Structure 1
Amino acid sequence: MLSAGYGVSHTKYAFLSKQLNQLGYMVIAIGHELENDPPLSVSGNLYETRSENWIRGAETLDFIKHSLASTYQNYNFNDLLLIGHSNGGDISSWLANAGKDYIDTVITLDHRRVPLPRRKDINVLSIRGSDYPADDGVLPLKKEAKEYSMCVKEIPESRHNDMTDYGPKWLKDEINRVIDNFLNGSSCRVNS
């Protein structure tokens, strides 16, 4: 399940959808915003003020999982890959932290607010841009990354807002390469 970033259409991640399709995944691209939703807050404690949005997004993912599992019986809905950009990565991390046992892998593209899951039963990759830092506690400490086999990769000279179809080809290619290597069990190094 691919969760779009805030203000970006769920249709603007075709480079990811095509890559995941080639790797054998069915991709369900989700836009989490409705026209009548309040805008995301930009002041105060953003973890607190945005949590309602992440809760709704996680509930949406859970609903879609349960709704589609009976329709698409040839796909495994008990070992899901959640992938999300920015706010979509926060939503994916929120759901993974909720203790759901049907999540196998979480991949985030430069999410910044919700801590990555620290669970041995979930594979975690976070691809980082180089223009905005994540909030404290979002990314694992080196010790945690090793303990939980989490992979965090910064792509030098990449920008948060370019991690969509609007971004440069070199960045989309590099994101896809890192994801491909991670999902195929190869090294998680950005430049090999």
Structure 2
Amino acid sequence: MKYLFELVVVYLCLLHTADAKIIEDAARQRQIPVEISAPMHQEACTAKHQCPVALVSSGYGMGHTQYTFATDALNKLGYLTVAIAHELPLDPPLSVTGNLYQTRSENWRRGAATLAFIRTALKEQYPNYDFDSLLLFGHSNGGDISAWLANEGKPYIKTVITLDNRRVPLPRSETIGVLSIRGSDFPADAGVLPTTAEQTQFGSCVVQLPAARHNDMADSGPPQLRDSMAMLITEYLGGATCSTLRKQAH
């Protein structure tokens, strides 16, 4: 019986594996590393009953594979996750001086173009998954990239979840669900977060995590913080109200 159980565990692990690959964007001469992870029960995903898709964007200087606490949670919820490396060796460094919204806009615009390209490149390759109702997930600068694309009015974006993005305003939209999980050591720029009235109007949700450092909001952070973020993601996508999420965060 024990041997049979171990075989089942191994089989499930084989089913739930990550596929690392390079996707070429020939028009922009970019070789884009991605890691694709299938949902826990991918056999339930068919062309007729497609499973959801999440595009994952890391914080600047963070590895695109350093958010497994989030991708694992999303895989358990039935999502195909695509973790994308936005920063390539020949890209200019992220600006740290001047008006950052202006000086960093090139980076966000390039990242948004990468997200849109990856969606197009993978849509035909993965017919059992719904690339027309995307979840965009991003930490810090990756959250800003996600918000930038969401603000372009693309009809294929359903949800945006950010971890402490600080520069690009989150979408104010009745058709895009928004959850932003906030750290406690750096404030967002003015206008980035929806006001209380806007959260009520558009159904968005901002959740503050106590004693959560911006740079810890990845796999390298404390286990308790990773668990809290995974829980909030899971509960939000499961339909929990914002007030419930805020209570659970404290």
- 1:182 aligned to which of 204, 220, 236: 236
What is the identity, as a one-letter code, of the residue corresponding to 2:125?
A: T
Query: What corresponds to 1:191 in structure 2?
Result: 247
Query: If you compute each CA radius of gyration, which structure gives the higher value, 1 or 2?
Result: 2
Is 2:63 aligned against 1:9? Answer: yes
With normalisation by structure 1, the TM-score equals 0.98
Query: What corresponds to 2:200 in structure 1?
Result: 146
State the shift of 1:15 in Å. Answer: 1.1
Root mean square deviation, CA, Å: 0.7
2:136 and 2:71 map into 1 onto residues whose CA distance is 12
Q: How does 1:129-144 map to 2 (within 5 A)?
A: 129-144=183-198
- 1:127 aligned to which of 171, 177, 181: 181
2:77 and 2:63 map into 1 onto residues whose CA distance is 23
Write out the 4+ residue segments of structure 1 that deviate beyond 4 Å after TM superposition: none
Secondary structure at the residue paired with 1:79? strand
State the shift of 1:190 in Å. Answer: 3.2
Preserved CA contact (<8 Å) 2:70 2:230? yes
1:69 and 1:130 map into 2 onto residues whose CA distance is 37
What is the identity, as a one-letter code, of the residue corresponding to 1:191?
A: K
State the shift of 1:157 in Å. Answer: 0.4
2:191 and 2:56 map into 1 onto residues whose CA distance is 23
Query: What corresponds to 1:20 in structure 2?
Result: 74
Task: Return 5+ residue gaps in structure 1 as ranges.
Answer: none
Is 2:212 aligned against 1:168? Answer: no
State the shift of 1:14 in Å. Answer: 1.1
Query: What corresponds to 2:98 in structure 1?
Result: 44
| Structure with a larger share of its residues in strand | 2
Secondary structure at the residue paired with 2:80? coil
What is the identity, as a one-letter code, of the residue corresponding to 2:101?
A: Y
1:32 and 1:147 map into 2 onto residues whose CA distance is 33
State the shift of 1:77 in Å. Answer: 0.4
What is the identity, as a one-letter code, of the residue corresponding to 1:22?
A: K
1:12 and 1:121 map into 2 onto residues whose CA distance is 29
Secondary structure at the residue paired with 2:89? coil
